[in-house]
Amino acid sequence: MTQLTGPVLLALALSGAATSDHDSSKACAAIASALPNLISFPNSSPYSSHNIYWSARQSEARPSCFVAPNTAQDVAKAIKILTRQNIPFAVKAGGHTPFEGASNIAQGVTLDLANLNAISVALDRKTVSVGAGARWINVSEALDPLGLAVVGGRSATVGVSGLILGGGISYFSGSRGWACDNVRNYEVVLASGEIVNASPRVNRNLYWALRGGGGSNFGIVTRFDLASFDQGELWANSRIWPGALNRTLIPLMHDLLVNGLPSDPEAHTYFVMTYYPQLGGYLVMNDQYHATYSNTTSPPDVFAAFHDAALPTLLTNTRLANVSRLLRDIEQPFGMRQAYWDTSLAATATPDLLLDIVPLWEEQVALLTAAAAAVNSTVEPYLVYQGISSNILEAMQVNGGNALGLKPEDGPVMIVQLSLTWSNPALDEVVETSSKELIDKVNALAASRGARSKNGYIYMNYAADTQDVYAGYGRENLARLRHVAKRYDPEGKFRKLWRGYFKL
């Protein structure tokens, strides 16, 4: 066996990089002649506008070119060139994944779906067809004036595509499941360049896989046909308390997950803790929504405990609002460095586990605050609790079930998410390593209390790139997802060439 020494490996790596750069330039040229006007090269203003991502970690990758298809046929042409010439590529929709390389690529080709932005409402008002490059604000601005809504995202510029393909937590999930449970049909470009539909009638296995199984192993979705329903303004209430109240609020949050939310499927909520020295230190924040309640002077019963005068807030904001306004209310600015990590827990009989995670998170906050101070910078840390109550798990089963592997009998489940925002790249490593350590500690604590969720489910859309998301779908679903990937991409082209994100 030949011994590969350091310099030989280095030479191989360099020649590999040079070859791929050269090849992707050739592919860009081939695409430019097949799809004139849809391609842009570095140091041009179209290239710069495609290279805008929510997280600065993503915009730092510099692809050889961006391709911005106008139609599914354009996507098919580009994919044929890329898969025949074996060119690495990435696919961008809303561009909101935090980690580098999720929807952009250094040296390869990035397909930006932004121009696939058509939105049309069926005559019977029961289906809305949405192009894969649309953002949730585009959807709500089309639907609000018609008194319609879909099960979709909660922040304005997040992409329709990524959110639906990984699951999709919505205001309306309590009665209708996640976004992926409310797709009637996907139009998809396969690795071969063939354009197919996937629905309960055709390509049923592909349809199932795309319901939460992510896109990057199966195909490029070019259009989502979503179930729509009549919806007026929602009741919404945001509350901010001093962090010291967490020991009172978390037991109430636990009771809401286990008992409250299942009693009122029109209600939706999540809890966020943060450290914000300008407002005195730790804070607990809570957004409450109700799809049908309309009294702004008193809350719906399901949230009454949080409105008790014994729990004084620093800030509260009650409103009746359309989806567009609510989406803008929690829009997060572009251009900072971002990281997400998550895990999930089985809700136990008592809130102890949810309480005991808080001091573990405080240790991470102290570590990051010190690390940031050492480079004269800051990190914003968030600990987010989002429940999957039993009514959501039941609603997930109604339209034939999804790929996530979550069953009503295993619930309710609490998603525990870490979200971090910072600006100095010198902090990237400490953010990632301390987040991994904290998630490991949370999992170990849960295991010691018998409260790991079934299969150790990790929500894809809040996961870090190094997390083994697919293992959490369960053995059986993982095998079925692999089977579907092999059936629709027999040569494994997407596995090899579609870089970043989670691979089967």
Ligand X SMILES: *[C@@H]1O[C@H](CO)[C@@H](O)[C@H](O)[C@H]1NC(C)=O
Ligand Y SMILES: Cc1cc2nc3c(=O)[nH]c(=O)nc-3n(C[C@H](O)[C@H](O)[C@H](O)COP(=O)(O)OP(=O)(O)OC[C@H]3O[C@@H](n4cnc5c(N)ncnc54)[C@H](O)[C@@H]3O)c2cc1C
135 near ligand X, rule: CB under 6 A? yes
Contacts (Cβ under 8 Å, ≥6 apart) of 134: 116, 117, 119, 159, 160
> What's the closest the beta carbon of residue 424 comes to ligand Y, in angstroms?
20
Q: DSSP class of residue 227?
A: E
- The only residue of 19, 86, 120, 298 in contact with ligand X, by rule CB under 6 A: 298
Closest listed residue to residue 18, CA positions, set 26, 192, 440, 482: 26
Q: Which value, in Å, is the radius of gyration of the alpha carbons in the chain?
A: 23
138 near ligand X, rule: CB under 6 A? yes
Place of tokens 């059986």: 476
- The only residue of 54, 99, 208, 289 in contact with ligand Y, by rule CB under 6 A: 54
Please, which residue, 254 or 268, has the CB nearer to ligand Y?
268
- The only residue of 279, 321, 360, 445 in contact with ligand X, by rule CB under 6 A: 321
- The only residue of 69, 94, 265, 351 in contact with ligand Y, by rule CB under 6 A: 94
What whole-number distance in Å separates Cα of residue 500 and Cα of residue 491?
18
Please, which residue, 32 or 321, has the CB nearer to ligand X?
321
Phi, psi angles (nearest 5°) of residue 498: -80, 100
163 near ligand Y, rule: CB under 6 A? yes
69 near ligand X, rule: CB under 6 A? no
Closest listed residue to residue 64, CA positions, set 4, 120, 8, 19: 19
Amino acid in the structure at residue 270: Y
What whole-number distance in Å separates Cα of residue 392 and Cα of residue 182?
13
Q: Which stretch binds ligand Y (CB under 6 A): 197-205, 215-223, 225-233, 401-409?
A: 215-223
105 near ligand Y, rule: CB under 6 A? no
- The only residue of 82, 113, 180, 302 in contact with ligand Y, by rule CB under 6 A: 113
Please, which residue, 2 or 297, has the CB nearer to ligand X?
297
> 467 exposed, middle or buried (CB, 10 Å; 0-12, 13-18, 19+)?
buried
Please, which residue, 329 or 465, has the CB nearer to ligand X?
329
What whole-number distance in Å separates Cα of residue 91 and Cα of residue 104?
7
282 near ligand Y, rule: CB under 6 A? no
Contact between residue 63 and residue 105 where contact means Cβ atoms under 8 Å apart: yes
Q: Cis (ω within 30 of 0) for the bond into 242?
A: no
Residue 87 binds which one of ligand X, ligand Y, none, with CB within 5 to 8 A depending on kind?
none
Q: Give me the residue whose beta carbon is nearest to ligand Y.
A: 162
> What's the closest the beta carbon of residue 148 comes to ligand X, in angstroms?
11
Distances (CA, A) of 503 to 14, 102, 464, 498: 25, 11, 13, 9
- Count of residues near ligand Y by CB under 6 A: 34
Name which of residues 358 to 417 contact ligand Y (CB under 6 A). none
- For binding to ligand Y (CB under 6 A), which residues are involved? 54, 90-97, 102-103, 113, 132, 153-155, 158-159, 161-163, 165-169, 215-216, 220-221, 332, 461, 500-501
- For binding to ligand X (CB under 6 A), which residues are involved? 117, 135, 137-138, 141, 144-145, 157, 243-244, 246-247, 273, 282, 295, 297-298, 321-322, 324-325, 358, 362, 376
